[in-house]
Amino acid sequence: VIAETYITALKYSPCGTRLLVGLVNGSVISYDSSQEKLKPLKIIHCKNSGGKFNNGRKVNGIEFLDKIFAMVT
């Protein structure tokens, strides 16, 4: 895991080939879990461009809508 902060949400995709990890700073890291070792694919920063929450907010939950799309709260 390349995260150096607290993990607040974790969800495997329905097919089991992707893992999404939500962090306390508002970032979501996508991993390929099809092999024995997790391989990081992409980091998504869920932050406002300005205002009160421009540093990001804690990810509370992750739900997959299908094999590809996920909703982050």
* 27-47 tens-digit pLDDT: 999 999 998 899 999 998 887
Report the pLDDT value the prediction gives residue 2, as an integer from 0 to 100: 60
**Cα separation values, 41 from 33, 51, 55, Å:** 10, 29, 23
Q: For the beta carbon of residue 6, count every other beta carbon within 10 angstroms.
A: 10
Is the model's pLDDT at 21 over the cut of 60?
yes
Residue 54: pLDDT band by 50, 70, 90 thresholds? confident
SS3 19: strand
Report the pLDDT value the prediction gives residue 19, as an integer from 0 to 100: 93
